[in-house]
Amino acid sequence: MENWITDWWVQSAYLESRLPLAVHSSPAVVLPKQDFNDWKGQLRFAAKLIAGMLDFKAKIDHQTLLVEYSRGYPLCMDQYSRLFASCRLPGPKHDSVLLPPPGRRPATYITVVRNFQFFQLEVYNSDGTPLTVDQLHSQLQRIRGQSWKTDKEPLGVLTSDHRHTWGKAYTTLMKDKLNRESARAIQRSLFTVCLDAPVLKVSDSRASSRLAAQMLHGGGSYSNSGNRWFDKTLQFIVGEDGSFGVLYEQAVAEGPPIATIIDHVLDYCKDPVPVRAPLIPLPMPKKLYFCFTPEIKRDIEHAKRNLDMWENQFIKPSLYQRSDDNNFKVRGEEPILFQMHGHRLLIPSPFSPQVAARTDCVMCYGPLVPDGYAVCYNPLPVHVNFSVTAFNCCQETNAEHMAGSIQGALDDVGALLEDHTDDES
């Protein structure tokens, strides 16, 4: 075997778990708010993001991606080749993973979802070259023109339910040929881009938690949760209000490769490669239709009720910054998040507490148990971003208090460093 632990780990830690992916399993990365506040800026940024992802994929395809190292040892880069065109598939007892067949060319399209409506967007020209930023922007405008209705069934919330429940609903959904074709198109797409509507404005003190919730589960069935297919390996979330993040499914993806992708994409968005668009007409993005039987509608309503239980479960985040004088201070204006896992502050086995990225971001993920905490942090050159989350429904836990304890510990370390510096001088 190439790796004796991988298959066992993926099966036991992820595919056999019956908890929902939303909140309980899939981590989200909350990224800095982008400099736009309308749908025009949203589409321009999304076009650059897609182009950046295609540029990253080209490095994988051409085997020019630089090997990563840890403590001087090269890391296995195999995971990168499986991030695209993959998806988790629900089952009644355990799940499975859909990967591109070996030796066959993967899909040449992505999925775009807006107002609960899914679209298949071809991202390569007929000659195999990727669409330019201008071409992608034009296609996203066409998608927006086809998705203005907001009275659609939020089919995506089905994927947020408990795995055995979604597994049964999935069997019902796939009995219809149209549903099978549309679902398979989503599952086999390279990745998904979620064009979210603006979220309800809240006070500044709750803005970070609201942003975390949007990335973790979409904010509820009445908000953007219907704009997700939680089984999909990679989902990029771009809000009309400038919110931006990534949601990923862990059976295929892990934090460090996701952080590498994010760094590359954001670098690309700052300075996209100028390419002249070919003067050829592009096909209209294909809208994916579904047949909603009474049984499927009941399944959707059931999933909506379960999902909405998680709304407003997250506590105000804080950012811990290490200043130049070795003191740790709180910068409350920055987006940070909080989570809960276990009865003590433990490192939950499916997650890494440190996910480092060059970007000023932080990862968050939902609780494994209802009465614990989870912490994740991103060490940056001049400050450290922490996320800590706890459920409001548990009286024994309080994420703000835990955050205060972390702050106190960091302040103590800062004081020790300062005293040590004074002693040396």
DSSP secondary structure string, 340-374?
A: E-TTTT---TTS-SB---SSS-EEE---SSTT-EE
Give the pLDDT confidence score for residue 314 in this predicted structure. 67
218 bridge partner residues: none
Q: What is the pLDDT along the chain (425 residues), one digit of tens a residue?
A: 777 888 898 999 899 999 999 988 899 999 989 999 999 999 999 999 999 999 999 999 999 999 988 889 998 888 898 999 999 999 988 999 999 888 788 899 999 999 999 999 999 998 899 999 999 999 999 999 999 887 789 999 999 999 999 999 999 999 999 999 999 999 999 999 999 999 877 777 677 778 888 998 998 888 999 999 999 999 999 999 999 999 999 999 888 899 999 999 999 999 887 888 777 889 999 999 999 999 999 999 999 999 887 655 563 333 344 434 444 333 333 333 434 333 344 434 344 577 888 888 888 887 677 787 778 888 888 888 888 877 777 788 888 888 888 888 888 988 898 887 666 66
Contact 293, 60 (CB under 8 A): no
Q: What angle do CA 347, 323, 402 make, to 5 degrees?
A: 35
Buried b (16+ CB within 10 A) or exposed e, 333-342: ebbbbbbbbb
DSSP single-letter state for residue 271 = S
Q: Which two tokens stand for residue 163?
A: 């795995």
Closest by Cα among 186, 317, 246 to 27: 246
Give the pLDDT confidence score for residue 189 in this predicted structure. 98
- Spatial distance between the Cα atoms of 44 and 123, rounded to a whole number of angstroms: 15
- Give Cα separations from 36 to 134, 209, 305, 307, 310 (angstroms): 18, 20, 33, 29, 28
Tell me if residue 78 falls in helix, strand or coil: helix
Phi and psi angles of residue 415, each rounded to the nearest 5 degrees, phi first: -65, -40
Give the pLDDT confidence score for residue 349 in this predicted structure. 37
Residue 109: which region, alpha, beta or left (left: phi > 0; alpha: psi -120 to 50)? beta
Give the pLDDT confidence score for residue 424 in this predicted structure. 66
- Spatial distance between the Cα atoms of 211 and 303, rounded to a whole number of angstroms: 22
Single-letter residue type at 392:
N
Q: Which two tokens stand for residue 204?
A: 């500044």
Closest by Cα among 21, 51, 26 to 271: 51
Give the pLDDT confidence score for residue 303 in this predicted structure. 95
Closest by Cα among 168, 247, 192, 188 to 214: 247
- Give Cα separations from 322 to 74, 415, 425 (angstroms): 30, 12, 21
Give the pLDDT confidence score for residue 293 in this predicted structure. 95
Q: Which two tokens stand for residue 31?
A: 């990224």
Closest by Cα among 216, 176, 177 to 199: 216
Give the pLDDT confidence score for residue 24 in this predicted structure. 87
- Give Cα separations from 348 to 6, 271, 310, 417 (angstroms): 18, 38, 20, 29
